[in-house]
Amino acid sequence: MKKLLHIALIGLCSVMAHVHAEDNKTPSKAMEEKKHKGTQQDKMKHCNAEAKGLKGDQRKATMSACLKG
């Protein structure tokens, strides 16, 4: 019985941590994430436009960060 209670408590804590993390997003960042949750092709178009004019490692890093976001 104690094991079950501990497991339930740990599960509840992890859920609360996740919910708290979601609440801490700034409204503009949350809106941006929703806006770019389209297809992979849409993400590539957006990120490519963001990285326009960049070359080499700087472009690679920008594209990587954008596609992860």
Given pLDDT bands bounded at 50, 70 and 90, which one contains residue 69? Answer: confident
Residue-wise pLDDT for 15-63, tens only, equals 677 666 665 555 666 556 555 567 888 889 999 999 999 999 999 999 9
Distance between CA atoms of residues 29 and 22, nearest Å = 11
Distance between CA atoms of residues 59 and 39, nearest Å = 21
